Amino acid sequence: MIILIKILIMEKKAKKKYICIAKINSYECVKYRTNDINKCVNFLRSKFAGLRFANFYYNTGINKRSIYATWGKIKGFEFN
């Protein structure tokens, strides 16, 4: 029984580093979890033609839920 509990504890899924909330048109937003923000922006631009902006938030550590970076259609990346 104890061995089974230890195995279940060790098999936790690794958390993604960032949460991305993106505005894809004038009335719709999407949410993705990612480790690489550059790949996420490239994916969003290829999937959603009307992508306006994307905000990236920390998902782990002491800064959890605070903003990490913003990507805009005109300005590009702005790190906070």
**35-51 per-position pLDDT tens digit:** 999 999 999 999 999 89
User: For 3-32, how does the pLDDT look when each residue is reduced to its tens digit (9 = 90+)?
Assistant: 545 555 555 667 889 999 999 998 999 999
Q: What is the pLDDT of residue 62?
A: 92
Whole-number pLDDT of residue 78: 92
29: helix, coil or strand?
strand
How far is it between the farthest Cα atoms of the chain? 57
Residue 53 near residue 22 (C-beta atoms within 8 A):
yes
The whole-angstrom distance between residue 15's C-alpha and the CA centroid of its chain comes to 11
Contact (Cβ atoms closer than 8 angstroms) between residue 19 and residue 31: yes
